[in-house]
Structure 1
Amino acid sequence: MNLFNIIDEIENVDPEFQDRISPRRAAIKNITSFGSKVAVAALPFAFSTLFKKAYGQTSGTAVNDVLNFALTLEYLEAEYYATGVSTAGLIPAGAGATALAQIAKDEANHVAFLKSVLGSAAVSKPTFDFTAKNTFPDVFSNYQTFLKVALAFEDTGVRAYKGQAGNLKGNKVVLTAALNIHSVEARHASHLRQMVAANVSGASALKPWIAYTANGNDTGIAAVNPVYAGEQNTTQANVNVTGFMGASGNISQSAAAEAFDEPLTKDAVLAIAGLFIV
Protein backbone atom coordinates (compact mmCIF):
# COMPACT_ATOMS: atom_id res chain seq x y z
CA MET A 1 0.00 0.00 0.00
CA ASN A 2 1.52 3.37 -1.02
CA LEU A 3 0.11 5.55 1.76
CA PHE A 4 1.49 8.79 0.41
CA ASN A 5 -0.17 8.33 -2.98
CA ILE A 6 -3.40 7.50 -1.18
CA ILE A 7 -3.18 10.76 0.79
CA ASP A 8 -2.58 12.72 -2.42
CA GLU A 9 -5.57 11.06 -4.10
CA ILE A 10 -7.82 11.77 -1.13
CA GLU A 11 -6.85 15.44 -1.29
CA ASN A 12 -7.97 15.54 -4.93
CA VAL A 13 -11.52 14.54 -4.03
CA ASP A 14 -11.68 15.97 -0.50
CA PRO A 15 -10.08 19.45 -0.26
CA GLU A 16 -10.73 19.57 3.49
CA PHE A 17 -8.73 16.39 4.13
CA GLN A 18 -5.45 18.32 4.25
CA ASP A 19 -6.80 20.49 7.05
CA ARG A 20 -8.04 17.50 9.04
CA ILE A 21 -4.77 15.61 8.95
CA SER A 22 -2.25 18.45 9.13
CA PRO A 23 0.30 18.19 10.70
CA ARG A 24 -0.28 14.42 10.89
CA ARG A 25 0.52 14.10 7.16
CA ALA A 26 4.04 15.40 7.75
CA ALA A 27 4.44 13.14 10.76
CA ILE A 28 3.58 10.06 8.72
CA LYS A 29 5.95 11.07 5.92
CA ASN A 30 8.70 11.46 8.50
CA ILE A 31 8.26 7.84 9.58
CA THR A 32 10.39 6.74 6.65
CA SER A 33 13.31 8.86 7.81
CA PHE A 34 14.08 6.19 10.39
CA GLY A 35 14.98 3.85 7.54
CA SER A 36 14.13 0.74 9.55
CA LYS A 37 11.94 -2.27 8.88
CA VAL A 38 10.10 -1.53 12.10
CA ALA A 39 9.11 1.93 10.88
CA VAL A 40 7.92 0.61 7.52
CA ALA A 41 5.94 -2.16 9.20
CA ALA A 42 4.22 0.45 11.37
CA LEU A 43 2.83 2.36 8.39
CA PRO A 44 -0.52 0.53 8.13
CA PHE A 45 -1.17 1.09 11.83
CA ALA A 46 -0.19 4.75 11.62
CA PHE A 47 -2.53 5.09 8.67
CA SER A 48 -5.41 3.51 10.57
CA THR A 49 -4.89 6.09 13.32
CA LEU A 50 -4.91 8.87 10.74
CA PHE A 51 -8.10 7.45 9.24
CA LYS A 52 -9.89 7.52 12.58
CA LYS A 53 -8.75 11.05 13.41
CA ALA A 54 -9.55 12.45 9.98
CA TYR A 55 -12.95 10.88 9.50
CA GLY A 56 -14.12 9.96 12.99
CA GLN A 57 -17.53 8.33 12.74
CA THR A 58 -18.19 9.44 9.16
CA SER A 59 -17.22 6.00 7.83
CA GLY A 60 -20.82 5.00 8.41
CA THR A 61 -22.57 1.88 9.55
CA ALA A 62 -22.35 0.18 6.16
CA VAL A 63 -18.55 0.47 6.05
CA ASN A 64 -18.25 -0.71 9.64
CA ASP A 65 -20.40 -3.73 8.80
CA VAL A 66 -18.05 -4.66 5.97
CA LEU A 67 -14.97 -4.14 8.14
CA ASN A 68 -16.44 -6.25 10.94
CA PHE A 69 -17.29 -8.94 8.41
CA ALA A 70 -13.64 -8.88 7.32
CA LEU A 71 -12.49 -8.84 10.94
CA THR A 72 -14.46 -11.99 11.70
CA LEU A 73 -12.67 -13.80 8.86
CA GLU A 74 -9.31 -12.46 9.97
CA TYR A 75 -9.97 -13.59 13.54
CA LEU A 76 -10.61 -17.09 12.16
CA GLU A 77 -7.48 -17.19 10.03
CA ALA A 78 -5.23 -15.60 12.65
CA GLU A 79 -6.25 -18.05 15.37
CA TYR A 80 -6.00 -20.99 12.96
CA TYR A 81 -2.41 -20.25 11.99
CA ALA A 82 -1.39 -19.24 15.52
CA THR A 83 -2.67 -22.59 16.78
CA GLY A 84 -1.01 -24.48 13.95
CA VAL A 85 2.46 -22.96 14.28
CA SER A 86 2.40 -23.45 18.05
CA THR A 87 1.31 -27.11 17.91
CA ALA A 88 4.36 -29.27 18.49
CA GLY A 89 5.03 -31.86 15.82
CA LEU A 90 2.41 -30.60 13.34
CA ILE A 91 4.48 -28.59 10.87
CA PRO A 92 7.77 -30.06 9.60
CA ALA A 93 10.83 -27.84 9.91
CA GLY A 94 11.96 -26.10 6.77
CA ALA A 95 10.63 -23.66 4.19
CA GLY A 96 7.02 -24.66 4.85
CA ALA A 97 7.32 -23.80 8.53
CA THR A 98 8.88 -20.45 7.66
CA ALA A 99 6.09 -19.64 5.19
CA LEU A 100 3.34 -20.57 7.63
CA ALA A 101 4.94 -18.49 10.39
CA GLN A 102 4.93 -15.50 8.02
CA ILE A 103 1.30 -16.10 7.08
CA ALA A 104 0.42 -16.29 10.77
CA LYS A 105 2.12 -12.94 11.29
CA ASP A 106 0.28 -11.40 8.33
CA GLU A 107 -3.11 -12.54 9.61
CA ALA A 108 -2.38 -11.21 13.10
CA ASN A 109 -1.45 -7.87 11.52
CA HIS A 110 -4.74 -7.83 9.58
CA VAL A 111 -6.66 -8.33 12.81
CA ALA A 112 -4.72 -5.56 14.56
CA PHE A 113 -5.22 -3.18 11.65
CA LEU A 114 -8.98 -3.75 11.36
CA LYS A 115 -9.47 -3.47 15.12
CA SER A 116 -7.46 -0.25 15.13
CA VAL A 117 -9.65 1.28 12.41
CA LEU A 118 -12.92 0.09 13.96
CA GLY A 119 -12.04 1.01 17.53
CA SER A 120 -14.96 0.45 19.89
CA ALA A 121 -17.13 -0.67 16.95
CA ALA A 122 -15.03 -3.83 16.44
CA VAL A 123 -16.85 -7.12 16.99
CA SER A 124 -15.50 -9.57 19.54
CA LYS A 125 -13.60 -12.66 18.44
CA PRO A 126 -15.89 -15.71 18.18
CA THR A 127 -15.06 -19.11 19.63
CA PHE A 128 -13.81 -21.42 16.88
CA ASP A 129 -14.01 -25.15 16.26
CA PHE A 130 -11.47 -25.85 13.54
CA THR A 131 -12.58 -29.45 13.21
CA ALA A 132 -15.81 -28.02 11.71
CA LYS A 133 -17.95 -30.17 13.96
CA ASN A 134 -15.63 -33.15 13.42
CA THR A 135 -15.47 -32.80 9.63
CA PHE A 136 -11.68 -32.38 9.99
CA PRO A 137 -10.97 -34.21 13.28
CA ASP A 138 -7.19 -34.39 12.68
CA VAL A 139 -6.74 -30.77 11.60
CA PHE A 140 -4.02 -30.12 14.24
CA SER A 141 -2.44 -33.56 14.18
CA ASN A 142 -2.19 -34.20 10.42
CA TYR A 143 -0.10 -31.75 8.38
CA GLN A 144 -1.92 -32.61 5.16
CA THR A 145 -5.31 -31.84 6.71
CA PHE A 146 -3.96 -28.62 8.19
CA LEU A 147 -2.79 -27.45 4.75
CA LYS A 148 -6.09 -28.40 3.09
CA VAL A 149 -8.16 -26.41 5.57
CA ALA A 150 -5.71 -23.48 5.37
CA LEU A 151 -6.13 -23.41 1.61
CA ALA A 152 -9.92 -23.38 1.91
CA PHE A 153 -9.68 -20.42 4.31
CA GLU A 154 -7.39 -18.45 1.99
CA ASP A 155 -9.46 -19.11 -1.13
CA THR A 156 -12.54 -18.03 0.83
CA GLY A 157 -10.79 -14.86 1.97
CA VAL A 158 -9.85 -13.85 -1.58
CA ARG A 159 -13.43 -14.25 -2.78
CA ALA A 160 -14.88 -12.59 0.32
CA TYR A 161 -12.85 -9.39 -0.04
CA LYS A 162 -13.67 -9.22 -3.74
CA GLY A 163 -17.36 -9.64 -2.95
CA GLN A 164 -17.34 -6.65 -0.59
CA ALA A 165 -15.25 -4.26 -2.70
CA GLY A 166 -18.32 -2.72 -4.31
CA ASN A 167 -19.74 -1.83 -0.90
CA LEU A 168 -16.63 0.20 -0.11
CA LYS A 169 -16.26 2.13 -3.36
CA GLY A 170 -17.70 5.26 -1.76
CA ASN A 171 -14.78 5.39 0.68
CA LYS A 172 -11.48 5.25 -1.15
CA VAL A 173 -9.39 5.05 2.01
CA VAL A 174 -11.13 1.95 3.31
CA LEU A 175 -11.39 0.42 -0.16
CA THR A 176 -7.65 0.78 -0.73
CA ALA A 177 -6.86 -0.81 2.63
CA ALA A 178 -9.28 -3.69 1.96
CA LEU A 179 -7.82 -4.33 -1.49
CA ASN A 180 -4.35 -4.36 0.02
CA ILE A 181 -5.42 -7.12 2.40
CA HIS A 182 -7.12 -8.87 -0.53
CA SER A 183 -3.82 -8.95 -2.41
CA VAL A 184 -2.05 -10.49 0.60
CA GLU A 185 -4.75 -13.15 0.91
CA ALA A 186 -4.30 -13.95 -2.79
CA ARG A 187 -0.55 -14.42 -2.33
CA HIS A 188 -1.21 -16.65 0.67
CA ALA A 189 -3.63 -18.74 -1.37
CA SER A 190 -1.19 -19.15 -4.25
CA HIS A 191 1.65 -20.17 -1.95
CA LEU A 192 -0.52 -22.60 -0.01
CA ARG A 193 -1.68 -24.20 -3.23
CA GLN A 194 1.95 -24.94 -4.07
CA MET A 195 2.50 -26.29 -0.55
CA VAL A 196 -0.55 -28.54 -0.87
CA ALA A 197 0.68 -29.78 -4.26
CA ALA A 198 4.06 -30.64 -2.74
CA ASN A 199 2.84 -32.20 0.51
CA VAL A 200 -0.66 -33.65 0.12
CA SER A 201 -1.20 -37.08 -1.39
CA GLY A 202 -3.01 -36.94 -4.73
CA ALA A 203 -2.74 -33.14 -5.04
CA SER A 204 0.47 -32.84 -7.08
CA ALA A 205 -1.44 -31.41 -10.06
CA LEU A 206 -2.98 -28.56 -8.06
CA LYS A 207 -2.27 -25.21 -9.72
CA PRO A 208 -1.26 -21.97 -7.94
CA TRP A 209 -4.69 -20.64 -8.96
CA ILE A 210 -8.19 -22.19 -8.91
CA ALA A 211 -8.34 -24.50 -11.89
CA TYR A 212 -11.47 -25.15 -13.92
CA THR A 213 -13.76 -28.00 -12.86
CA ALA A 214 -17.45 -28.58 -13.49
CA ASN A 215 -18.41 -27.55 -9.95
CA GLY A 216 -15.64 -24.99 -9.38
CA ASN A 217 -13.85 -27.05 -6.70
CA ASP A 218 -10.42 -28.18 -7.89
CA THR A 219 -9.23 -29.44 -4.49
CA GLY A 220 -11.07 -32.77 -4.54
CA ILE A 221 -12.34 -32.13 -0.99
CA ALA A 222 -16.13 -32.35 -1.14
CA ALA A 223 -16.54 -30.78 2.31
CA VAL A 224 -15.31 -27.43 0.96
CA ASN A 225 -17.50 -27.30 -2.17
CA PRO A 226 -19.20 -24.07 -0.98
CA VAL A 227 -15.82 -22.30 -1.00
CA TYR A 228 -15.56 -22.79 -4.76
CA ALA A 229 -19.18 -22.50 -5.87
CA GLY A 230 -19.35 -20.45 -9.07
CA GLU A 231 -15.63 -20.54 -9.86
CA GLN A 232 -16.46 -22.34 -13.11
CA ASN A 233 -18.09 -19.14 -14.41
CA THR A 234 -16.92 -17.92 -17.82
CA THR A 235 -19.05 -14.76 -18.08
CA GLN A 236 -17.66 -11.42 -16.90
CA ALA A 237 -19.61 -8.13 -17.06
CA ASN A 238 -22.30 -9.95 -19.07
CA VAL A 239 -19.75 -11.01 -21.68
CA ASN A 240 -18.91 -14.68 -22.24
CA VAL A 241 -15.12 -14.70 -22.33
CA THR A 242 -15.07 -17.90 -24.42
CA GLY A 243 -16.30 -15.78 -27.32
CA PHE A 244 -12.97 -13.99 -27.58
CA MET A 245 -10.23 -15.12 -29.92
CA GLY A 246 -6.88 -16.05 -28.47
CA ALA A 247 -3.58 -16.72 -30.24
CA SER A 248 -4.69 -20.23 -31.19
CA GLY A 249 -8.44 -19.78 -31.58
CA ASN A 250 -11.34 -19.17 -29.23
CA ILE A 251 -10.47 -18.98 -25.54
CA SER A 252 -11.30 -22.28 -23.89
CA GLN A 253 -13.82 -22.71 -21.09
CA SER A 254 -11.06 -23.66 -18.65
CA ALA A 255 -8.88 -20.65 -19.57
CA ALA A 256 -11.85 -18.29 -19.28
CA ALA A 257 -12.85 -19.65 -15.88
CA GLU A 258 -9.32 -19.67 -14.49
CA ALA A 259 -8.63 -16.09 -15.57
CA PHE A 260 -10.93 -14.63 -12.88
CA ASP A 261 -11.60 -15.07 -9.19
CA GLU A 262 -15.34 -14.93 -8.55
CA PRO A 263 -16.70 -12.90 -5.61
CA LEU A 264 -18.62 -14.58 -2.81
CA THR A 265 -21.62 -12.95 -1.17
CA LYS A 266 -21.51 -12.04 2.50
CA ASP A 267 -24.15 -14.67 3.30
CA ALA A 268 -22.20 -17.38 1.46
CA VAL A 269 -19.01 -16.52 3.31
CA LEU A 270 -20.72 -16.44 6.69
CA ALA A 271 -22.24 -19.85 5.96
CA ILE A 272 -18.74 -21.22 5.28
CA ALA A 273 -17.23 -19.53 8.33
CA GLY A 274 -20.18 -20.70 10.41
CA LEU A 275 -18.99 -24.28 10.07
CA PHE A 276 -15.99 -23.31 12.20
CA ILE A 277 -17.74 -21.04 14.72
CA VAL A 278 -19.16 -22.48 17.93
Structure 2
Amino acid sequence: MSNDNTILGAIEPELVDSIAFSRRDVFTRYAKAAGIMTSAPLVLALASNQAFGQSLPQQVTDTLNFALTLEYLEAAFYEQGNKSGVIPSQYRSVFRTIGQHENAHVKLLKGVLGSAAVAAPGVDFTAGGKYADVWENFDTFLALSQTFEDLGVAAYKGQAGNLIGSKEILTVALQIHSVEARHASEVRRIGLKFGWDGAFDKPLSKKAALAAATPFLA
Protein backbone atom coordinates (compact mmCIF):
# COMPACT_ATOMS: atom_id res chain seq x y z
CA MET A 1 0.00 0.00 0.00
CA SER A 2 1.15 3.58 -0.60
CA ASN A 3 1.85 5.78 2.41
CA ASP A 4 2.20 9.04 0.46
CA ASN A 5 0.31 12.05 1.86
CA THR A 6 -1.18 10.12 4.79
CA ILE A 7 -0.76 10.41 8.54
CA LEU A 8 0.21 6.74 8.58
CA GLY A 9 3.08 7.48 6.21
CA ALA A 10 5.30 8.48 9.14
CA ILE A 11 4.86 5.09 10.80
CA GLU A 12 6.95 2.00 10.14
CA PRO A 13 5.57 0.16 7.05
CA GLU A 14 5.01 -3.08 8.96
CA LEU A 15 2.93 -1.26 11.57
CA VAL A 16 0.99 0.56 8.87
CA ASP A 17 0.03 -2.75 7.27
CA SER A 18 -1.00 -4.13 10.66
CA ILE A 19 -3.20 -1.13 11.43
CA ALA A 20 -4.76 -1.19 7.97
CA PHE A 21 -5.58 -4.87 8.32
CA SER A 22 -7.12 -4.30 11.76
CA ARG A 23 -9.28 -1.47 10.46
CA ARG A 24 -10.51 -3.54 7.52
CA ASP A 25 -11.40 -6.31 9.96
CA VAL A 26 -13.32 -3.87 12.18
CA PHE A 27 -15.24 -2.47 9.23
CA THR A 28 -16.07 -5.93 7.91
CA ARG A 29 -17.44 -6.97 11.29
CA TYR A 30 -19.31 -3.65 11.50
CA ALA A 31 -21.08 -4.34 8.22
CA LYS A 32 -21.94 -7.90 9.21
CA ALA A 33 -23.33 -6.70 12.55
CA ALA A 34 -25.59 -4.26 10.71
CA GLY A 35 -26.78 -7.05 8.46
CA ILE A 36 -25.70 -5.36 5.24
CA MET A 37 -23.75 -6.40 2.21
CA THR A 38 -21.86 -3.59 0.50
CA SER A 39 -18.49 -2.84 -1.03
CA ALA A 40 -15.35 -2.40 1.07
CA PRO A 41 -14.88 1.31 0.20
CA LEU A 42 -18.44 2.08 1.31
CA VAL A 43 -18.07 0.17 4.56
CA LEU A 44 -14.76 1.97 5.13
CA ALA A 45 -16.27 5.40 4.57
CA LEU A 46 -19.39 4.80 6.63
CA ALA A 47 -17.81 2.93 9.50
CA SER A 48 -15.07 5.55 9.76
CA ASN A 49 -17.69 8.11 10.72
CA GLN A 50 -18.85 5.88 13.56
CA ALA A 51 -15.55 4.38 14.67
CA PHE A 52 -13.39 7.49 14.48
CA GLY A 53 -15.88 10.23 15.27
CA GLN A 54 -15.62 12.12 11.98
CA SER A 55 -18.37 14.72 11.87
CA LEU A 56 -20.96 14.74 9.12
CA PRO A 57 -22.30 17.91 7.47
CA GLN A 58 -25.43 19.07 9.30
CA GLN A 59 -27.59 18.60 6.21
CA VAL A 60 -26.44 14.99 5.94
CA THR A 61 -27.02 14.40 9.66
CA ASP A 62 -30.54 15.84 9.44
CA THR A 63 -31.34 13.75 6.37
CA LEU A 64 -30.05 10.53 7.92
CA ASN A 65 -31.97 11.20 11.14
CA PHE A 66 -35.12 11.73 9.11
CA ALA A 67 -34.50 8.40 7.38
CA LEU A 68 -33.73 6.78 10.73
CA THR A 69 -37.05 7.98 12.17
CA LEU A 70 -38.93 6.31 9.31
CA GLU A 71 -36.84 3.15 9.68
CA TYR A 72 -37.62 3.07 13.41
CA LEU A 73 -41.31 3.28 12.51
CA GLU A 74 -41.11 0.42 10.03
CA ALA A 75 -38.96 -1.76 12.28
CA ALA A 76 -41.39 -1.31 15.19
CA PHE A 77 -44.36 -2.05 12.95
CA TYR A 78 -42.97 -5.38 11.79
CA GLU A 79 -41.72 -6.30 15.24
CA GLN A 80 -45.21 -5.89 16.66
CA GLY A 81 -46.87 -7.44 13.62
CA ASN A 82 -44.68 -10.52 13.66
CA LYS A 83 -45.53 -11.09 17.33
CA SER A 84 -49.24 -10.38 17.02
CA GLY A 85 -50.42 -13.47 15.17
CA VAL A 86 -52.22 -11.36 12.56
CA ILE A 87 -50.06 -12.61 9.69
CA PRO A 88 -51.26 -15.79 7.94
CA SER A 89 -48.78 -18.65 8.05
CA GLN A 90 -47.98 -18.51 4.32
CA TYR A 91 -46.73 -14.92 4.64
CA ARG A 92 -44.91 -15.05 7.97
CA SER A 93 -41.48 -15.68 6.47
CA VAL A 94 -41.95 -12.70 4.14
CA PHE A 95 -42.74 -10.28 6.93
CA ARG A 96 -40.06 -11.71 9.21
CA THR A 97 -37.53 -11.02 6.47
CA ILE A 98 -38.85 -7.50 5.88
CA GLY A 99 -38.60 -6.86 9.61
CA GLN A 100 -35.00 -8.08 9.62
CA HIS A 101 -34.20 -5.72 6.76
CA GLU A 102 -35.71 -2.76 8.61
CA ASN A 103 -33.70 -3.61 11.73
CA ALA A 104 -30.55 -3.76 9.61
CA HIS A 105 -31.34 -0.32 8.17
CA VAL A 106 -31.77 1.06 11.70
CA LYS A 107 -28.45 -0.42 12.84
CA LEU A 108 -26.60 0.96 9.84
CA LEU A 109 -28.01 4.48 10.13
CA LYS A 110 -27.41 4.58 13.89
CA GLY A 111 -23.86 3.40 13.34
CA VAL A 112 -23.13 6.13 10.82
CA LEU A 113 -24.74 8.85 12.95
CA GLY A 114 -23.15 7.71 16.20
CA SER A 115 -24.04 10.01 19.08
CA ALA A 116 -25.97 12.28 16.70
CA ALA A 117 -28.62 9.61 16.09
CA VAL A 118 -32.11 10.49 17.27
CA ALA A 119 -33.86 8.18 19.71
CA ALA A 120 -36.64 5.87 18.58
CA PRO A 121 -40.02 7.61 18.77
CA GLY A 122 -43.07 6.27 20.52
CA VAL A 123 -45.49 4.62 18.13
CA ASP A 124 -49.23 3.99 17.90
CA PHE A 125 -50.11 1.89 14.89
CA THR A 126 -53.81 2.26 15.56
CA ALA A 127 -53.36 6.00 14.79
CA GLY A 128 -55.44 6.96 17.79
CA GLY A 129 -57.98 4.21 17.14
CA LYS A 130 -58.46 4.77 13.40
CA TYR A 131 -56.88 1.37 12.69
CA ALA A 132 -57.91 -0.32 15.92
CA ASP A 133 -57.91 -3.79 14.37
CA VAL A 134 -54.40 -3.61 12.88
CA TRP A 135 -53.20 -6.57 14.98
CA GLU A 136 -56.35 -8.61 14.35
CA ASN A 137 -57.27 -7.94 10.72
CA PHE A 138 -54.67 -8.89 8.11
CA ASP A 139 -56.21 -6.56 5.53
CA THR A 140 -55.64 -3.61 7.86
CA PHE A 141 -52.11 -4.77 8.63
CA LEU A 142 -51.38 -5.16 4.92
CA ALA A 143 -52.77 -1.72 4.11
CA LEU A 144 -50.52 -0.11 6.72
CA SER A 145 -47.54 -2.16 5.56
CA GLN A 146 -48.04 -0.86 2.03
CA THR A 147 -48.43 2.67 3.38
CA PHE A 148 -45.15 2.53 5.29
CA GLU A 149 -43.20 0.89 2.46
CA ASP A 150 -44.50 3.34 -0.14
CA LEU A 151 -43.73 6.18 2.27
CA GLY A 152 -40.17 4.96 2.73
CA VAL A 153 -39.56 4.70 -1.01
CA ALA A 154 -40.91 8.19 -1.72
CA ALA A 155 -39.14 9.74 1.27
CA TYR A 156 -35.70 8.37 0.35
CA LYS A 157 -36.20 9.60 -3.19
CA GLY A 158 -37.18 13.03 -1.94
CA GLN A 159 -34.05 13.38 0.20
CA ALA A 160 -31.47 12.09 -2.29
CA GLY A 161 -30.49 15.61 -3.31
CA ASN A 162 -29.35 16.38 0.23
CA LEU A 163 -26.75 13.62 0.04
CA ILE A 164 -25.20 14.45 -3.33
CA GLY A 165 -22.16 15.95 -1.61
CA SER A 166 -21.57 12.71 0.33
CA LYS A 167 -21.15 10.12 -2.40
CA GLU A 168 -20.60 7.06 -0.21
CA ILE A 169 -23.58 7.81 2.02
CA LEU A 170 -25.78 8.58 -1.00
CA THR A 171 -24.86 5.22 -2.52
CA VAL A 172 -25.82 3.30 0.61
CA ALA A 173 -29.03 5.35 0.96
CA LEU A 174 -29.92 4.30 -2.58
CA GLN A 175 -29.18 0.68 -1.68
CA ILE A 176 -31.69 0.98 1.17
CA HIS A 177 -34.15 2.76 -1.14
CA SER A 178 -34.12 -0.08 -3.67
CA VAL A 179 -34.77 -2.66 -0.95
CA GLU A 180 -37.69 -0.58 0.34
CA ALA A 181 -39.06 -0.54 -3.21
CA ARG A 182 -38.84 -4.33 -3.35
CA HIS A 183 -40.66 -4.53 -0.03
CA ALA A 184 -43.40 -2.28 -1.39
CA SER A 185 -43.76 -4.40 -4.50
CA GLU A 186 -43.95 -7.65 -2.52
CA VAL A 187 -46.54 -6.25 -0.12
CA ARG A 188 -48.64 -5.10 -3.06
CA ARG A 189 -48.35 -8.54 -4.65
CA ILE A 190 -49.61 -10.17 -1.45
CA GLY A 191 -52.56 -7.77 -1.57
CA LEU A 192 -53.27 -8.93 -5.15
CA LYS A 193 -52.20 -5.60 -6.64
CA PHE A 194 -49.66 -4.65 -9.25
CA GLY A 195 -46.24 -3.87 -7.80
CA TRP A 196 -46.25 -0.39 -9.36
CA ASP A 197 -48.49 2.64 -9.84
CA GLY A 198 -47.06 3.74 -13.16
CA ALA A 199 -43.88 4.32 -15.12
CA PHE A 200 -42.57 6.89 -12.63
CA ASP A 201 -42.58 7.26 -8.84
CA LYS A 202 -43.06 10.64 -7.21
CA PRO A 203 -40.72 11.77 -4.42
CA LEU A 204 -42.08 13.10 -1.14
CA SER A 205 -40.72 16.14 0.66
CA LYS A 206 -39.62 15.79 4.26
CA LYS A 207 -42.64 17.83 5.37
CA ALA A 208 -45.09 15.63 3.45
CA ALA A 209 -43.46 12.40 4.64
CA LEU A 210 -43.54 13.48 8.28
CA ALA A 211 -47.18 14.54 7.90
CA ALA A 212 -47.99 11.03 6.66
CA ALA A 213 -46.04 9.39 9.49
CA THR A 214 -47.18 11.66 12.34
CA PRO A 215 -50.53 9.90 13.03
CA PHE A 216 -48.55 6.78 13.93
CA LEU A 217 -46.09 8.54 16.25
CA ALA A 218 -47.11 8.61 19.89
Match of residue 202 from structure 2: 262
Match of 1:181 among 153, 157, 176: 176
CA distance in 2, matches of 1:62, 1:40: 23
Q: 1:18 to 1:169 in 2, by over 3 A?
A: farther
Gaps of 5+ in 2: 10-18
TM-score (structure 1 length as normaliser): 0.65
The aligned runs of 1:63-212 (5 Å cut-off) are 63-88=60-85, 90-94=86-90, 96-197=91-192, 206-210=193-197
Q: Contact 2:127–2:215 (CA<8 Å) still a contact in 1? A: yes
CA distance in 1, matches of 2:47, 2:164: 21
Provide the aligned C-alpha RMSD in A. Answer: 3.0
- CA positional deviation for 1:51: 3.8
TM-score (structure 2 length as normaliser): 0.82
- CA positional deviation for 1:133: 1.6
Moved more, 41-50 or 75-84: 41-50
| Paired amino acid for 1:277 | L
Per-residue CA shift, 1:203-231, capped at 9, x if unaligned?
A: xxx21112xxxxxxxxxxxxxxxxxxxxx
- CA positional deviation for 1:17: 11
Gaps of 5+ in 1: 1-14, 33-37, 198-205, 211-257
3-state SS of paired residue (1:124): coil
User: What is the identity percentage for the equivalent residue pairs of Structure 1 and Structure 2?
Assistant: 43
| Paired amino acid for 1:269 | A
CA distance in 2, matches of 1:17, 1:147: 53
Q: Contact 2:27–2:47 (CA<8 Å) still a contact in 1? A: no
Q: Contact 1:17–1:54 (CA<8 Å) still a contact in 2? A: no
Match of residue 52 from structure 1: 50
Number of equivalences:
201
Whichever structure has more helix as a proportion of its residues is: 2
